[in-house]
Amino acid sequence: MTQTIVEIKARPKTDKEEGLLNARADFMTPWGALLLGVTIVLTVFFLLALFIPVLDGLQMIIVALLTMGSWLYLINRFSERLQLDDGVLEFNCALGRKHRFDLSEISSIRLNDMGWALSGDFYVLQIEVFNRDDVIELGLGPCWRRSHLTSFVRSVGSALNNIR
């Protein structure tokens, strides 16, 4: 079930709020640690299968593909980064496309908690751009701290309010 985490509305900023201009995926989140643990277990099982002949040819290929896929997913999800710099919102990761949005083109931004989704995305950052009918959705993986994401989206919201 999709749940909206942050919805940006104009309000005065208090002194105790600090904006976060750089946000990164983190190793030390519960889901990130679980992902790392599964990847390590698959790697150990693959290495044992190399030295102890317990798997046949096709089984070995399946385990090798699962191990390599889990390492690629892990690297991609741990390298996700959001950055707000000089009026530009930027999202990039190691194995994906780099997305750049000028703040003057953004009409609204919303962070949704997807829960446990089949796509592998735990959070979705929805960005509405002027002169475009569809909403751009950036899927964020399980290695994010919710507090960092909400603080970053609030910083983007206050930057949007300062532009207008």
CB distance 3 to 115 below 8 Å = yes
Both 133 and 69 in a single domain? no
Q: Which two tokens stand for residue 78?
A: 């741990």
Q: What's the whole-number average pLDDT of the chain?
A: 84
Q: Is the pLDDT of residue 16 over 90?
A: no
What is the signed CA dihedral for 26, 32, 37, 42, rounded to 10 degrees? -100
Both 157 and 103 in a single domain? yes
pLDDT (0 to 100) of residue 69: 95
CB distance 124 to 90 below 8 Å = no
Both 141 and 91 in a single domain? yes
Q: Is the pLDDT of residue 121 over 50?
A: yes
Cα separations (Å) of 18 from 150, 151, 152?
11, 8, 10
Both 70 and 89 in a single domain? no
Both 87 and 145 in a single domain? yes
pLDDT (0 to 100) of residue 119: 62
Cα separations (Å) of 159 from 9, 90, 135?
12, 14, 20
Both 43 and 16 in a single domain? no
pLDDT (0 to 100) of residue 164: 65
Of 9-18, 74-83, 115-124, minimum mean pLDDT range:
9-18
Both 90 and 157 in a single domain? yes
Cα separations (Å) of 21 from 45, 48, 108, 117, 126?
40, 44, 17, 27, 18
Phi–psi pair at 72, nearest 5 degrees: -65, -45
CB atoms within 10 A of CB 77: 25
Domain limits at 126?
3-25+80-163
Both 36 and 61 in a single domain? yes
Both 17 and 87 in a single domain? yes
Both 107 and 134 in a single domain? yes
Mean pLDDT, rounded, for 3-26: 66
If one counts the domains in the chain, the total is 2
Q: Is the pTM of this model over 0.85?
A: no
d(CA 74, CA 32): 8
Q: Which residues partner with 85 through β-bridges? A: 88
pLDDT (0 to 100) of residue 7: 67
Both 111 and 142 in a single domain? yes
Both 58 and 106 in a single domain? no
Q: Which two tokens stand for residue 27?
A: 């190793």
CB atoms within 10 A of CB 22: 13
